[in-house]
Structure 1
Amino acid sequence: MPQMHYPEDRTGRRSLWVTLITVLVFVVGFIAHTSSRAQAPSLQHQEPVGKPSQATTVIVVDTSEDLDSSSTRKTCTYTSGAIFVPATDGCTLRRAILEAAARPPADRPIEIRFNLADDDPNKDREVSGTWTLPINAALPTLRTQSILDKTGDVTIDGSTQPGGRTDGPPIILATNDRSLEIESTGNTIRHLAFKGGGAIFLKEDGNTVEQIWMGLSDDGTSIVFRTPAQPNRMAGGGIFITSNDNLVQNNIIAGAFARAINIDGSRTNNTIQNNLIGTRADGTVPEVPVAAQCLRSLSLDPQNWYGGWGIALSGSNNRLIGNRIAGLHIIQSLNDTPPIAIEIFGSGHEVRDNVIGIDSADNPVGVCGQGIKVSGSNTQIVDNLITGSRAGFEDDESSAILASDTSPTFGQITVRRNLIERGPGRVYAFGPGIPAVLRTFQPARVTSVAGTTVRGTSGLDSPCPGCLIDLYSDNGDEIAETLSYLGEALADETGAFTVTLSAPLQAGVGLRTSSTTQSAGVIGNYLSGTTTQVSKLYLPLSELSITGPVTGTAGMTYTFVFELEPLGATAPYTYTATVTDVAEPVTLVTASSTVTVTYSWPTSGTKTIGVNVANELSEVTATHTIDITGTVIPDDEWRVYLPLVSR
């Protein structure tokens, strides 16, 4: 300590001040010591471990054992009359939580830290740098002692453990299916692993849960079932929110028996972001044999991956942002609902930038149920990516995003810029409970594609003045997809629009549209921000081929095949054939891209078959010649047949 210097002519006054200061320090120290026995932290037991703490009170867990798990009185350092007394054999997590709940407002914020010994019997059970804490009875509720002031301000941080691993939670709770219930506000729970079931219940506002593992083995590579003899109980786990203004981020939950994250009731302003649901700790999902994928059975299949359920939102004005959900599957009967990736109820939610069905290694592993299922009103579903979703058996519409609601308050659901790959059928559709005025309303229609210029107008019998038109690309296979987002345009008062693409469409690539109203009353009584279903594929014809013989004999019948490209070009097609020796062109309207016809000529010579095929975007032509030789047949003895087969 630096030496203090006093002026020589104030020696007597200096001595008096020293005496007074000494007395004052003694009195304050005595008062502090006395009050600490009642409510303040004992500083000699509360030294922070690792980084400095900003907490008023620091409680350090120093043993992994769950000692006296039935006691509701023993704390780590805190005394309050005969109600709470400090234990003499160590600070357990149970005692730390009980103490944090018991301390008065003056002792907050509180931080629960960890300083478990290197020779602790539960160190490195499976993975180096971890300590396993068995939970032998229900944990104390993290609350306050007053119903009038529920300010918790408690942080439980597993990363404070010295020597703990940094690629996963160093503190592993062997929960025995016991949960952590939080009934105070402003708390933070981070860097813990829940193994063997158990959940986190957020019953009061303003809490943060982050960097938590649930349902995984210590190394994060497999799912641990909470009751091995009853695998249908899955791994348990989950974060259940019955309060407002909470933040749940950067957690990993796999094998959830119920929703992995669930916002229940009329809760508002919660944010669920950047979580991994259904995956291993690194965000990947192991490869599953094709024959076993999404197989519904009550028997455990060791070669399968049971990622559990997804996320559900209720209430209002909640946000679901940037989560990755992949590998969802459960042990289930044929009649059980497959796990849904995202379920939305209520109003005013924002669901964006979520990735469904693709793991962190970009493998399209899919999910075994609906991608997004929405009801309610005034919700934004934008910029999500869904790959390999499936429809629930009870859904009449097979769609990656399904609106299903029978409430008269349904509406104002905005669905834009979502990319869908390998879906169950459609991109965005409405269930039978949605009124026909919206369910059958047709999205914008593309009328021409010329280079990079796309023009269109309102859908058939569905005027949409001033609507916002979104364009997507898709190929011509049988599955409706939105493989890339190509741009938007605001339709004029007649519904007409023009979009300039960044580059011409590649061969075999077409367009799909959706329309979002910008004012009320455009679609029935629905308000602005209501998005239609996604359109059929608008794909121009690129080529027509005619195959058949090039030589023949008069009077004989020959077969020719007209075939259109690309596969999946917009139907229907109008075929018009002009044939030598046939007085009038023959027309056929069909949805088939392949037509088979037969012809016979009575005279020799070079015969020409000329065919024109048009759809609503384009037309193509082709010709074919055949040299006919042989005897002339009287006119009344020959026929021309068109078509013979259409498929």
Structure 2
Amino acid sequence: MPTNQRPVLIAFDLPDAEADNPAAPTSWKIQLNEGVGGNLGSTTGAAFVGGDITIDGFTQGTLPDSVNATGRTDAPPVLIESSTQVDRFTIDGNNNTVRGIAFQYLRVLFTGNNNLIEETWHGLNDDGTDIYLVNNDPQVDNRASLEDFEASTGNIYRNNVITGARAKAITVRGDNALVQGNFIGTRADGTIPTVDPERSCWPNARYNNWFGGAGIDIDGANNTVEDNLIIGLLFSSNDAFNTPDDAITLRGDNNNTVRNNLIGVDANGQEVGTCGDGIFILGGSENLVISNTVVRAPGDIDPEVIDTGAIGLSGNLLALGNNTISRNIIKNAGEGIFFTPSVINAYTFFNPAKVTAIDGLTVRGTSGDPGLPPSPAPPVDSTCPECIVELFLDNTDPRVEALVYLGSTVADVDGNWEATNVLTQPLQVGQGIRTTSTTGQDDTIEGYNAGTTSKLSDDLYGSDGVITPTPLDPPLPVQPPLPFPRPEPRPVPTLAQVLTGTTVITVNSTLDPNTSLSETCYTAYLGGQTVIEGECTLRRAIVEARSVPADQRPVLIRFAIPTSDPGYLGTAEGLEAWKITLDDSNSNQLRRVEGGSIYIDGTTQPDGRTDGPPIIIEGNNTQNILVIDNDNNVIRGLALQGFPLVINGNDNFVEENWLGLSNDGQTPYFINDDATRNNNASIEDAETPPNVREGIAGNVYRNN
């Protein structure tokens, strides 16, 4: 639209008949088509080019002439679900607004200035009670993220919920932005589900865990991050020691303010933690980190792990300047304020003010003692004239915490100070005082300008001097495991030694002609199939078994392969076993075993070995070669090499099989003799996670 017809409002008046989402009544979902044609708001020819456009989901049904229902008011009434081929909503120009939309698998990218996005959801399911996952896989990025360009300025991100992102939840590359009042890593109500402590913060605990995603990343200058709630940040990963994301990262620029953020505490006040560090300053100067609360950062507190905790600083003298850290509450963190090895000794080991006397409600002190870096480095002068001294209340456990901000005072030119009536009551048993110092002069901390804040004091001060910490009981950190229910095992019937079937198909060859995918052995129940007399391969037997009507099941696929067969191993290896090597010239995936009540029993092979499976099947294709669908199937007496066994059904028996062993069972089997390659020796009972396919039950995996 031309400039003289802006600003433009994109409102919604979707018909009542399309509000058919039982999970989220009075909401409407727009599903973008697969393919490039569904791209929304690309930078070329986008609806938002030119700026001054508002898209507002809360307008649903509110237009004067509307006959349709209004949308929900406690959540975005309009949902936009994208596809795996369309993952970006790019908003060009300036002064645009987006509100009242729930985005699923769709990043939002601002290229201009002074844009506003507020009261939106990103990465949540329809009713906001869980994470939206692509194909229900937590390792696939759900694109729950907001970001801008480096040249952007003045964008506002306010009162949004962003959860599950594997990239950053909010990335501010530009300047003068406001990130305010957002819930990061949570459900819509600002909470997360209870997770077993044995699984919480373990990225490889794929199920029954909470993967809140990533935090806020500030790359630009003069930005403000305030009043956000951030909990439960974690990525799903096969690596158990994959590092969770920081809640807030300042990435090397200047004059940013981080204040009044709640990290590790949910909207109900529960201390649930976040799995990564709290606030991390990766270089930059004149940043202000003030009045934040950081609890259980990282969530899995390990006293042996260093350089992790509530507030961290990193960067050499050229990268890291004077940054002020003030009035922050820190509880149950790895370390309170910590420094990575890149920070010079003069800063890392600078000791804050020490307490010399506590007189009723008044606390007095002086500069800290010289810091002691590892030998042979010299001591660090910690004299601090005209420093701002902040005092915090802590308990006497071994953690360095700042549980209550008591107040501040300014030291004189000699570093001496007095905080009059800073205590509201005399120190109680189990309480002490910690301090920080913020320099009032340049080079008080060598190389750093005024306004540089030290670590929290290692020493905890009481009325009688330094307090020796009281060891935690149990030792730090132990969380009691939740009791696991112990259900009584159900009685499992024993398979008959000799299986019988209403229909019997006999495999009499180890050959695997690749053209036999649609051929049966002897019969053609479905018609249109080539009947091969005399030669019945396993591939053909499975094709025939699939076509057997229900009233002629169970189907027994038995084996009677002669010793003259080229796959017989008695002559070459001295094994009473027969090896079927699946043809891999095209695709060696067998047809799925479908319909139920199909028995594939290698123990039926006459004169086969009894100390191992008589029938060996080798296949090296990356696909699932043998998939068993439906119920009441039996897989017995097979040695599978190079591929897994997948069971999609109930009450199936998998017994007396080998997976991943050599022909004689004495060594592991490796595909093409490559020991670095996964040999796929596994049994799994569903191709999809259990929250997708319900009702898988009663399968028996015995003596494999």
1:593-632 matched pairs, under 5 angstroms = none
Specify the SS of the correspondent of 2:346: helix
Distance (Å, rounded) in 1 between the aligned partners of 2:198 and 2:260: 31
The one-letter code matched in structure 2 to 1:157 is D
The sequence identity of aligned pairs, in percent, is 35
Q: How does 1:83-98 map to 2 (within 5 A)?
A: none
Q: 1:274 to 1:506 in 2, by over 3 A?
A: same
SS of equivalent residue, structure 1 residue 283:
coil
Distance 1:511 1:517, change over 3 A: same
How far has the Cα of 1:539 moved from its partner?
A: 3.1
Does the CA contact (< 8 Å) of 2:336 and 2:401 recur in 1? yes
Residue number among 256, 274, 278 corresponding to 1:367 in the alignment: 274
Could you say which residue in structure 2 is the equivalent of 1:117? 15
Structure 2 portions without partners, runs of 5+? 62-69, 371-381, 472-704
1:241 aligned onto 2:148: yes
Does 2:139 align with 1:232? yes
What corresponds to 2:55 in structure 1? 156
Amino acid paired to 2:331:
E
Asked if the contact 1:226–1:234 (Cα under 8 Å) also holds between the matched residues in 2, the reply is yes
Which amino acid is 2:76 matched to? P
* Matched residue, 1:530: 452
Decide which of 315, 319, 326 is 1:405's aligned counterpart: 315
Please state how far the C-alpha of 1:391 moved relative to its aligned partner.
8.3
Q: Secondary structure at the match of 2:287?
A: strand
2-side partners of 1:231 and 1:364: how far apart?
A: 24
Residues 151-190 of structure 1 correspond to what in structure 2 (within 5 A)? Answer: 151-162=50-61, 163-177=70-84, 178-190=87-99
Amino acid at match of 1:160: T
Using a 3 Å threshold, how does the CA distance of structure 1 residues 407 and 212 change in structure 2: closer, same or farther? farther
The 5-angstrom pairing of residues 221-620 of structure 1 reads 221-228=129-136, 230-242=137-149, 243-264=152-173, 267-297=174-204, 300-301=206-207, 303-332=208-237, 333-345=239-251, 346-375=253-282, 376-390=284-298, 396-406=306-316, 408-424=318-334, 426-461=335-370, 462-500=382-420, 501=422, 502-540=424-462, 568=469
Code of the residue aligned with 1:317 in structure 2: it is N
Whole-angstrom distance in 1 between the partners of 2:121 and 2:436: 39
Aligned to 2:588: none
> What one-letter code is carried by the residue in structure 1 that aligns with 2:416?
A
Contact 2:183-2:229 within 8 A present in 1 as well: yes
2:5 is matched with which residue?
107
Deviations for 1:452-508, whole angstroms, at most 9, x for unmatched residues? 111000011311000000000101101111000001000001000011223222221
The aligned amino acid for 2:14 is: L
Q: Secondary structure of 1:248's match? A: strand
The Cα shift of 1:523 comes to 1.2
What one-letter code is carried by the residue in structure 2 that aligns with 1:491? Answer: A
Shift of residue 176 of structure 1?
1.8
1:207 aligns with 2:115: yes
1:418 aligned partner, one-letter code: N
TM (norm. structure 2) is: 0.60
Larger Rg: 1
SS, match of residue 412 in structure 1: coil
Return 402-411 or 529-538, whichever deviates more: 402-411
- Aligned to 1:159, what secondary structure does the other structure show? helix
**Aligned AA for 1:434?**
V
Deviation at residue 399 of structure 1 after TM alignment: 2.8
Unaligned stretches of 5+ in structure 1? 1-102, 544-564, 571-647
Distance in 2 separating the partners of 1:191 and 1:365: 28
Q: C-alpha distance in 2, partners of 1:405/1:334?
A: 27
- What are the Cα deviations for residues 342-388 of structure 1, in whole angstroms up to 9, with x where unaligned? 11111110000000000001111100111111122110001000001
1:5 matched residue in structure 2: none
Q: Is the 8 A contact 2:81 2:106 kept in 1?
A: no
Q: Is the 8 A contact 1:508 1:567 kept in 2?
A: no
TM-score by length of 1: 0.65
User: In 2 relative to 1, CA 511–339 (structure 1 residues): closer, same or farther, beyond 3 Å?
Assistant: same
Contact 1:396–1:432 under 8 Å retained in 2 = no
SS in 2 for 1:477: coil
Report the Cα distance in structure 1 between the residues aligned to 2:324 and 2:299, rounded to whole angstroms. Answer: 21
Letter in 2 for 1:474: D
Is contact 1:508-1:539 (8 Å) kept?
Answer: no
The amino acid that maps onto 1:369 is: G
Indicate conservation of the 8 Å contact 2:141/2:167, yes or no.
no
- 1:319 and 1:349 in contact (8 A); partners too: yes
Partner of 1:135: 32
Distance 1:542 1:395 in 2: 31
**Contact 2:221 2:254 survives alignment (8 Å):** yes
Distance 2:247 2:82 in 1: 26
Q: In structure 1, give the amino acid aligned to 2:20.
A: K
CA contact (8 A) 1:143 1:184 kept: no
Q: CA offset at residue 273 of structure 1?
A: 0.4
**Number of residue pairs the alignment of both structures matches:** 437
Supply the RMSD in Å over aligned alpha carbons: 2.4
- Compare the two structures and name the one with the higher strand fraction: 1
| Structure-2 separation of matches of 1:407 and 1:495 | 25
Q: Give the residue type in structure 1 aligned to 2:369.
A: L
Q: How far apart are residue 405 of structure 1 and its match?
A: 1.3
On the 8 A contact 2:40/2:88 being kept in 1, the answer is no
Question: Offset of 1:525 from its aligned partner?
Answer: 2.4
8 A Cα contact 1:278 1:327, kept in partner:
yes
Residue identity opposite 1:568 in structure 2: P
- Kindly indicate whether the alpha-carbon contact (under 8 Å) linking 2:10 and 2:55 is maintained by their aligned counterparts in 1: yes
Q: Which amino acid aligns with 2:402?
A: T
Distance 2:308 2:214 in 1: 19
1:407 offset after TM fit, Å? 5.5
Cα shift readout 1:206-247 (whole Å, capped 9, x = no counterpart): 10000110111111111120232x420143310012121100
Which whole-Å CA distance do the structure 1 matches of 2:42 and 2:260 have between them?
33
Give 1:569 deviation, angstroms. 7.5
Alignment of 1:72-83 (within 5 A): none
Partner Cα distance (1:395, 1:262) in 2: 28
SS in 1 for 2:112: coil
Indicate if the aligned counterparts of 1:144 and 1:151 stay in contact, CA closer than 8 A. Answer: no
* Secondary structure of residue in 1 paired with 2:311: strand
Measured at CA, do residues 118 and 569 of structure 1 come closer, stay the same or move farther in structure 2, by a change above 3 Å? closer
Q: What CA distance in whole angstroms lies between the structure 1 residues aligned with 2:216 and 2:346? A: 30
Once the 2 structures are TM-superposed, how far is the Cα of residue 296 of structure 1 from its aligned partner? 2.8
Displacement over 3 Å in runs of 4+: 142-146, 391-396
- For 1:616, the equivalent position in structure 2 comes to none
